[in-house]
Structure 1
């Protein structure tokens, strides 16, 4: 089977999941023929992905998320306005995606939450079947827990999620644990995709807490937590570190952002403090490390991840860097959660291969959306 990837290039989660599926497909004797990665002028293809991915990579413009430069909070309104301003280059990108699919003729396209995929299939209707993979598709599951209120952010999140998956034969929703499928939404719940580097690790139980800090406000909270608990050993990875290992004092060390080293530190820490990105929390769960999950401000998806992760028992949801919360939680953390998580993860091999086989089987092509999308195609071409 020849497989082409379409990947959202924002952050590391979807790119890491693509690397994981590529490893799985290679084990099964299938061929990943390439990857189309959504990029912006400010954000190219991440080096960790380009160094690991062995097939050709095609970067194509795709409007990204807009964050506040001071607080790192997501700016939904500015994100929407920016996307509208980029409508013409976005249309050119859709045609590039369509042409690439029709030229390479894979048996199936796998879309990792890239809007270019859903919109290309809605407006230009490539002839190759597509399946979509992301944790975000749990938003269409009736049992998925969400933050109270936040109506606007919830609707914006669901709309953005829907735009990534028009025309897909199946949605594979990555989940912390087993949930019922939702056939009316073409939704199948599947285990997380984890890199072989994670599953090959032999975790140990160390004495240090590990923190991954990207928000400016969290850096201030990190120092406050350190002053309150100067006896607790902490290693913190963040972009302002002056070197690979910046020693602050006897119990706090900053480290420059480095995915490989961060994973090594995770394997020997006793707990982790991180934003509520799905991928990093899953890695911590697999390695048996309880997590304090702190969503980025205004980031509805991460707020959902934190609530869902707490429900599944992988850690504790919080709105701030609160070591007291984490220290109180750690003795209560169920160590069997990691065992159950590993067993759930082990089922993924056959579930993902089954989804690919179903996609290439002859079936009716999904509707592209009727009059609305016909009108949209006309407007974009004018």
Structure 2
């Protein structure tokens, strides 16, 4: 039985009357599946009214290319060391050429500008995709920043003192990369207060499959790893083997089952069904997946990656009382078993937290599009396509 409250009782704000059709360039950061999952939720609604071209690389390109018009562009990535932790030095070295390209107007930025000139969008939406942001800014195309990372750049948050210097650096870097969009929308499963003018904080963007799949308290523990080849360590495998229940793992692709561990291929609808029918979720601390899990009433055990954004998300999980946080190196059979024994109290808390309501991201996005349509005229050289 689906015990979720009606959607209208959970989300504040509604869709506006239809905005006049527009051409929209939609940049999606390619690392992991969270950014692409937001796009999967938004694109069908946007394409009902508008002409949309997606710009993405990495994981997002692979996930979106079958169903949506898309152009491949480079993407920033984290680099992992042999201990399955993010190596900050290697990550910096790996991404430095892209940063230099943006600074000097190199071939990557020029190529992205050429894509936008050809498509001639009225507005650019960017989910933490810096090339789309910078190219649109260069061409005078009004922009909407729509992601979760904006929470670090534009909002007040609770963080430990050790993370605060890194948060300042990350926030400054993000603002430097994207410059100042005309509209900023931050999607988050937990509340945050904006300190930057004009910032709107909304709830998670829920895919249609998530909205329409009835949750069931099943037997299996669902595991999702966004960089499984680094994160699925022998220690994690041993801990999951002793979980005392079936475990379904996404991120490693399909392979032969190992005891109670079954390995599922990358997918959309089958993953949502496994999420809706699971006992609980074990995952990294990405905002998008945690938000979907909470909507479906699933407690979460998060293993944050070595980034301050994920540590903020993990701290929010604990602060809201909807699950637990454990460092990957400390995940053992006792941690998993203790978490599973406390599921009932987390389910109660999830119902209370989510019933308070999330601001509807679709309504806010359509409102932003309507405002920009009225307020800003695109570059005349781009407007030729409307003639």
TM exceeding 0.5: yes
CA distance in 2, matches of 1:240, 1:34: 29
Q: Secondary structure at the match of 2:339?
A: helix
Aligned-residue CA RMSD (Å): 2.8
- 1:134 corresponds in structure 2 to 147
- 1:219 corresponds in structure 2 to 233
Cα shift at 1:271: 0.5
- 1:278 corresponds in structure 2 to 287
Task: Indicate conservation of the 8 Å contact 2:32/2:60, yes or no.
Answer: no
Aligned: 1:317 with 2:336? no
Aligned counterpart for 1:61 among listed residues 74, 81, 87: 74
- 2:220 corresponds in structure 1 to 208
- 1:33 corresponds in structure 2 to 52
Aligned counterpart for 2:272 among listed residues 250, 256, 263: 263
Do the aligned partners of residues 343 and 331 (structure 1) sit closer, same or farther apart at CA in structure 2, a change above 3 Å counting?
Answer: closer
Task: Indicate conservation of the 8 Å contact 1:25/1:31, yes or no.
Answer: yes
Cα shift at 1:316: 1.7
Cα shift at 1:294: 0.5
- 2:176 corresponds in structure 1 to 163
CA distance in 2, matches of 1:293, 1:206: 19
Aligned counterpart for 1:290 among listed residues 299, 307, 331: 299
What CA deviation, in whole Å up to 9, does each residue of 1:160-216 have, x standing for no partner?
Answer: 32234313011101111454444x343110121121111111111112211124264
Aligned: 1:49 with 2:68? no
Q: Secondary structure at the match of 1:359?
A: helix
Aligned: 1:12 with 2:65? no
Cα shift at 1:71: 3.5
- 2:384 corresponds in structure 1 to none
5 Å matches for 1:146-157? 146-151=159-164, 153-157=166-170
CA distance in 1, matches of 2:108, 2:198: 27
CA distance in 1, matches of 2:143, 2:374: 12
CA distance in 1, matches of 2:135, 2:47: 27
- What residue ranges of structure 2 are gaps of 5+ in the alignment? 1-20, 379-387
Cα shift at 1:276: 0.8
CA distance in 2, matches of 1:283, 1:50: 22
What CA deviation, in whole Å up to 9, does each residue of 1:294-352 have, x standing for no partner?
Answer: 012x2222112111233334322221332034124313214363475377357233222
Aligned: 1:75 with 2:75? no
Task: Indicate conservation of the 8 Å contact 1:207/1:270, yes or no.
Answer: yes
Do the aligned partners of residues 357 and 342 (structure 1) sit closer, same or farther apart at CA in structure 2, a change above 3 Å counting?
Answer: farther
CA distance in 1, matches of 2:233, 2:90: 25
- 1:301 corresponds in structure 2 to 309
Task: Indicate conservation of the 8 Å contact 2:27/2:54, yes or no.
Answer: yes
TM-score, normalization: structure 1?
Answer: 0.80
Task: Indicate conservation of the 8 Å contact 2:29/2:60, yes or no.
Answer: no
- What residue ranges of structure 1 are gaps of 5+ in the alignment? 366-382
